[in-house]
Structure 1
Amino acid sequence: MARSSQAQMSRPRAKTGKPADNEGLIPVLARAVREVENAAQRGVVSPANRTKFQVIALLVREERQRAKADTTVSDGDRAETLKRLDGVATILAKTAARDTSLIALLETDKPGSDAARALRRRMLEDAGFELEEEAPVAAPVAATTTTERQVMPDSVRSRMLANPFLAPDFDAAAFQAPAPARRLANWELLGPLFKSFEYGSGGASASMPLPDPQERDMLAPSGTELMHHQARFVESVRRGHRSFLLADEPGLGKTAQSLIAASVANAYPLLAVVPNVVKMNWAREVELWTPGRRATVVHGDGQDLDAFADVVVVNYEVLDRHMSWLRTLGFKGMVVDEAHFIKNLTSQRSRNVLSLASSLRERNRDPLMIALTGTPLINSVEDFKAIWQFLGWIDDKAPRPALLSRLEETGLTPADFGFFPEARRAVVDMGMVRRRKIDVAADLPAKRVVDLPVELDDDLGRSIRQAERELASRLAGRYRAILQNRGTTPSKVSAEERAEVIRLVAQAELDESKASKTGENVFTMVRRIGQAKAALAADYATQLARSVGKVVFFAKHIDVMDQAEAVFARRDIKTVSIRGDQTAIQRQKQIDAFDQDPEVGAAICSLTAAGVGLNLQAASDVVLAELSWTAAEQQQAIDRVHRIGQDVPVTAWRIIAAHTIDAKIAELIDSKAGLAARALDGEDVDLSAESSVQLQALMSLLDDALSGTKR
């Protein structure tokens, strides 16, 4: 038997002769996909049909893999099966073209909800598969760590001995009591809530009303000053609001706001869950903004921990071994920095954070909960889900009582005209705060992104272009094969069908690329392009360092960083390096050297390890040697330099390999910035292009090959 992602299953018992067209899994998929298609044609794809769409796409992918691997069928029967699966996939593509929010569901690798898992099982059973019983799936907020992995630092034992009878808040249970079911009791609401951020903005930013501060000068410690937008946030906390998605653009001082908010709310002890790269800086920020409070940083097994400190700072990577004592220490507030890190609800990181948040709410009537991220949306509006769960606004299946009451007050249901803007406002008023630099930091200098095309005219460059041509040829061959199976030719295919098949071929190639460890694909090609650009990008960065001062050099891969460091060394320019394999203390020393040592001319940074949370404003120029796959990651990197305290204009130089797929990727990254612009900032931008950059890059490559266009 082959193991599926959810349960053991085996094929239906074979019958003699060729299977009938109405037997097996494909007819089940065909009927289901027609139902979803009909719903899309009516204009509204319900959450149930969205789940069905996702499960169909997953089963088509699984059935295709099984058909290719099945050695018991003839080549003719295999070709027929693949042709019928292509038919189902084509309808999926047509449906996604009608409702582009479905595109993201084509890219998921497994069912993401209990409903999807149950539907997948039911469809397999209808097709005659024999399924074993599934093991129960733990809820996302359940404890997922084992006793063997847990540690108990000596300092924590001392604190527990000093205060063994931590008094619970007996009002907490009453406060969390569910509201009585009323008008919306039988409605599925999460899907409409997510959609409300696509369609219900009405030009308004996703920011709750904030009061003007009455005691602005008294909020910040002596020697510091809050900007007006920061003081308004803290004033809201002073007046009693306790849960926030603080989504200010990067560089607007979210850390300071959250720390002073904790002081105003007396939310101590406070737990801060942060990326490893910034946990030492968090301790410094505590000392700067709340000098009367002590911070302790959890390293490894926590043997240096001060459990009596006011603020406990821990990074995502070591959470799993500290869960037992973190749940019971008695925190009254919790801050999650770079909260988009928890967007994948199936990841251990997300489960740990949600479990801690649930424990904290059980022990406190109204704890201070703050999610910090300048980029809450990476690929789709459903990236909000884990953050909203952390804040206690929703659970895995529905709004929690406070949000449900706000939705009830609208007097509307998802079937009513006007529901989407009212639902969006209800969520925003739960505590979403979003300010842009252009609106609140009038004195912040300008920022621009400049593309620098470079020619890869050496042997490596020529081999990259040849590999790109071979990939395009392979995609074109698949395209023609699908048309042949359908009994048509490229000259007779309609524009609509051409686009559908291009997407189908690109998606199949992307799936295979993600699963493959060898061979040439879009990922290996982009990495080779980065290697080919490394010396050119570093050479340009050295010129900047000599002419304008300190520069920050970002790359994705270690070998590109190594090449850059070698170029700087040959030019006698002193550098520091910020990488993912450094300890927090080592990394902070590198950051301090860049900031304070006038001899250091450049910081060579990993886009992953240094792209969030750091303050590198000693420089005003950024060189992006390799492109990110998301607009958010690129923006985060640039905003390490463009932030409060910067007093000169900032320029980000993107090094683009001309006449390669690199140029298309740069264009696609820019187009994807529209998701946040529409959902968060209320801008009227088209979201039709919102899908993965990898997928769209492959589609563009194939489209150019079919059109005879040369890059």
Structure 2
Amino acid sequence: MLVVHALWRSGRLALWAEDPALPTQAGGGEHPFAVRLPGGEADTVTLHLPTVEGRPADSPELVRPDEPPKTKKLTLKPWQVPVSLHEDFPDGDYVLGSSVRHLQQVAAFADDLVRRGRTLPWIIPAPAAGEAGAGGLRAVWRPVLTGSDAHWAQALAHAQPPVARADTGEGSVAQALDDLVDLAAKRLLRKAGVDDQGWVRELRGSALELQGELRSWQRDAAGGAVRACFRLVEPAEEEVDWRVEFALQPVDEPSLVIPAQRVWKSRKLPATITSPKQTLLAELGRATRLWPRLADALATAQPEEMELDSAAAHGFLREAAPLLHTAGFGVMLPKWWGKPSSRLGLKLKASSKSSPATVAGKSAVGLDSLVDFSWEVSLGDEPLSEAELTELAELKAPLIKLRGQWVELDTKRLANGLKLLREGGQMSVADLLHAGLSTEDTSLGLPVLEVSADGSLGDLLSGAQVKLIEPPNEFVGQLRPYQQRGLSWMTFLQSLGLGGVLADDMGLGKTVQLLALLAHPDSGRTLLVCPMSLVGNWQREAARFAPKLQVHVHHGADRKLDPEADLVITTYALAARDLAQLREVPWDRIVVDEAQAIKNAATRQAVAIRAIPARHRIAVTGTPVENRLGDLWSIMEFANPGLLGNASAFKKAYAVPVERHADAEAAERLKKITGPFILRRLKTDKSIISDLPEKLEMEVLCNLTAEQASLYQAVVEDMMDRIENSEGIERRGLVLATMTKLKQVCNHPAQLLADGSRLTGRSGKLARLEEIVEEILAAQEKALLFTQYASFGTMLRSHLSAKFGREILFLHGAVSKPERDALVRRFQSTEPGSPSLFVLSLKAGGTGLTLTEANHVIHVDRWWNPAVEDQATDRAFRIGQRRNVQVRKFVCAGTVEEKISTMIQDKRGLAARIVGTGEVALSEMSTDQLRAMFTLDADAVSE
């Protein structure tokens, strides 16, 4: 598998790759394991790369299966690297390096700038006569970077990976952004059938003159170190006119505002502002392009301010001020402007015809239910009567002082307010919630300032504390206080017929909270959809905490739904495949576990899950937002369809403003509308931490893939025949060899086969590990991954490093003490970018280390000696550890792993000996006992 890196050179995409299969010997100036990707034009670049022992160090994404990590001192050395110059990224099966992923972000930003029109035309010399538009000139498009766009461009420059900075030629982030904006703009023009060079040719001799104008225009967009600032002042008592005062303001010190009067009198001006008078005149002249009315002030020799009537002041607030601010000028507006109290708004009062039921599973309200409503028009908290609105409409003034405060009046809005006062009727609960929880302006023509309702709907809208309920008698177990709050919250939403997202941090017991809800005798019939790796876990946890539930696993070739089952468990793949069958059942509830599986709304399984009808919907996930806000939309669309509008409207209203422009108001709106339907508790919350044990241990049950099951069965049949025909030392050796082979199969077929084959999609244990590691990385936490096999540790390091694009540390018996100490120091570092995952062989890393930066410990395979496992766990759970440690012990369901685990837990008979001596005691079992121990259970296999 090649690791691909990207550079941007001379307006082209330059790609090169590392091949772990090539030799790594030192020598020469040519990169020893770099290869050129197929296609594109050939070239060579010189890169200054980290070098160890005379050869380039491997990139974090490239891990060699046959070689331990290097921890020697690194130096920078020049290396010749072959590259392929491409127009677009070529097809192929590659692992993307950090430089490629970074360049993809730059390209996405360029596309977004073009879509929003944040570009300016520019003229440059044509590289070839055939491309000249006029007089050897060529038209290009350049980005306009102001405000949040400038900050994002700066962040992209700072985030450029080291390998992309290693190029000794041209290729900065700014240059790449310029080129990619130009390519995106021309692609858009060509799609519209526009000749992007035509306007330059038409200008002929005027092109050079235009080029000078464009330079001024570009300067207008970019600004300088000092800018003009405009402050709007409302009229004092008995005055009519408004004033706009002029000032100078350093860009990097916006709190320093120097009035124009001080500039003209040269009084106490900072020494850093050179030529202040000329700067002020130049800045005012620059602003005139955006606000032509400013030319009147420039008719005076020393402009300090200009007067405006009410209509002109309103025009400045609505039109000129946003333009000036976007262009980089300073703008200071009255504090009341933009606040709800300064403009007319609506208050919505709703009442339901009947109170919703509170019995579990019997909701009387839903998103489609209707409620009675009436409108009230108000100015902030002050209601306005119909007579007052009529009087205000007759004034026909855009800004007036009403009840001691300035108010913006809009003729259309006043008319809408009068119309709504006379209206009333019914609306759906979904419309009511959207109006009450979102603060956006609506098609009503006025913003909705407040929504109130009676009963449980009112509690939801006001954020009132949910009344705590006790778990049902049928639930076997003790809920912690925060878990009881989770049960009460889900029951409350259920009583309203509304869905929710249980998004507690991993390890806080989401499964237990769900089972407490399902255990209620009136809970109704539930369909639970989860990854195959969790089916067995749900089945066993249900038997433990809700034993009276009739549980049916919908799986297998001859699968049929059990009409008597209270809880039906199936997988995402089967839910999509059996959609027609599942839709015929009147489900009371549908639960999706690991709901990030439906984060891509357009996938077949996400569409299928949303199509299954149910009165109550719950999504369970520790990561409601993984990569983008679209993930949240998809999960919420399952839980409460239509609440966030359609996907395109959500993207426009929330995703783009929040993700691209860091719009705090849009983020707050989104938080307000989704908040009542998402329950998220973190381990870092002190109220939660106080409820948790210091060390939380759990067994993670995994299913085998079909390939693993087949290989497992073949090993059992082969080895049992040999065991039956042997005795003494030979027999004991064969039993232990069988154990080793079966445990390797449970880990991954490639470990037993040792054939260097791919790892993806072949192991249920690896699939579950990937899911947990993804959550750990998303939470920006660290984990130790223990395995008793150094060979499997090498595989894990290579696979996880490529999948997550992270450096993975690996400690095994061949690592020297200085290298071992260096690995520990790097993992224990709190510096940003320090490694988050540490794979350790149990023998090499089980004792003598302090790794307290990790608060997760995963035993990928088991030693079966609790003392040995506890010693390994205590690498993280020891003095110096500031957080609670979660310990996960992986076991494959239905295999010898689970059977030994059960014996250890039960501590009956042989188990006591196993606890003391590990697996050696198994060799003393009879052949029938061994056959029962090794035989694969029917429910062990995933689909």
Bin for the TM-score computed over the shorter chain: 0.3 to 0.5
TM-score w.r.t. length of structure 1: 0.39
TM-score under structure 2 length normalisation:
0.30
Which one has the bigger strand percentage? 2
Structure 1 or 2: more helix by fraction: 1
The structure with the larger Rg is 2
Identify the structure with bigger relative contact order (alpha carbons < 8 Å, sequence gap 6+).
Answer: 1
